[in-house]
Amino acid sequence: MGDAVLDAALAGVFGLLVGSFLNVVIYRLPKILERQWAAECADLAGQEPEPQEPFNLMVPRSRCRECGHEIRWYENVPVLSWLVLRGKCSACGTSIGVRYPVVELATGLLFAWCVAAWGLTPTGIAWCGFSAALLALALIDWDTTLLPDVITQPLLWAGLIAAALGWIPTSLQQSLWGAIAGYMSLWLIYHLFRLATGKEGMGHGDFKLFAALGAWFGLPALIPIILVSSVIGAVIGIALKFASRLREGGYVPFGPFLAGAGFACLIVGPAALQRAIGL
């Protein structure tokens, strides 16, 4: 019992560190992709891309967006530094968003929960990786309405591989059909909606994320996942509309709600989620 608690605690601490890195991914990855797309457009147009300073997940060092103050290592300790600094930049006093420590804490709790549930085993580690990827996707989509292929596609393949190796309770057959049905169902809805209205009802990233969830949880989990995510998405969308908080075009990204249903499956299990909604 003592070893299990220690393993979960260590996983939680490691999760805090991963959460700190996820904050970097959530902020920088969309900007990295935008730079890549701009360079590709310039290349197709026969133009030289504008010279830019190196910008990736490692360079430059994290800094205050207001004054440019480089964040020192002791100002970047997950959660603790934010509390010590009282949520403000040490140089200019600009507020540091509360989401940074929340992401770190959420990742730490998810990692601790996964290891507490499955131990420090390939299964526990696999679900930790799943949790980190899903959290990053949810917040990137909420901020930018993007679900980057560099995360969704590895997440899908990781689910299939984990199923093939027996690291998750989903059989390879269920994982494969879950991925196929997840992608094709939303792909079909997208095209039917487009034919009927002439508009795009969702992005292609949603197909890939739903396919990834199908790969991890299997074919039977798809119906409760889509129902739960649709209901929660509708409720939050209506609330945002009444609060006049909808972004331009009235678009609400669907990815965060798919991710939320995925976390519900992770924590309570697909079967319990099915029973909860009467299936």
More confident position, 51 or 168? 168
- Greater pLDDT, 232 or 16: 16
Q: Is the pLDDT of residue 248 over 80?
A: no
Pairwise CA distance, residues 227 & 211, whole Å: 15
CA count, 13 A, side-chain hemisphere, 13: 5
The answer on 135 and 93 residing in a single domain is no
Specify whether 41 is located in the same domain as 147. Answer: no
pLDDT over 70 at 118, yes or no: yes
Write down the pLDDT at residue 250: 65
- Identify whether residues 108 and 182 lie together within a single domain: no
Q: Are residues 160 and 270 in the same domain?
A: yes
The verdict on 131 and 107 lying in the same domain is no
Least confident segment among 34-38, 119-123, 274-278: 274-278
**The model's pTM:** 0.93
The residue segments making up the domain with residue 168 are 122-279
pLDDT mean over 32-50: 85
Q: What angle (nearest 5°) sits at the alpha carbon of residue 143, between those of residues 188 and 198?
A: 35
Confidence (pLDDT) at 279 = 64
The tally of domains found in the chain comes to 2
Do residues 114 and 146 share a domain?
Answer: no
Compute the average pLDDT of residues 262-268.
94
**What is the average per-residue pLDDT within 201-230?**
93
Q: Could you read off the pLDDT of 55-105 as tens digits, one per residue? A: 889 888 888 888 888 898 888 999 999 999 999 998 898 999 999 999 999
- pLDDT at residue 1 above 60? no
Residues 138 and 249 in one domain: yes
Determine the pLDDT at residue 224. 93
Domain boundary among 95, 120, 145: 120
Residues 135 and 76 in one domain: no
Overall average pLDDT of the 197-210 stretch = 88
pLDDT digits (tens, 9 = 90+) for 155-197: 999 999 999 999 999 999 999 999 999 999 999 999 998 888 8
Shared domain check, 132 and 116:
no
pLDDT of residue 50: 76
Mean pLDDT of 129-149: 97
Question: How distant, in Å, are the alpha carbons of 174, 189, 273 from that of 278?
Answer: 22, 24, 9
Of 120, 136, 169, the residue that ends a domain is 120
- Same domain membership, residue 98 and residue 145: no
Q: Domain boundary residue among 65, 96, 120?
A: 120
Residue 155 sits in the same domain as residue 235: yes
Task: Indicate whether 11 and 34 sit together in one domain.
Answer: yes
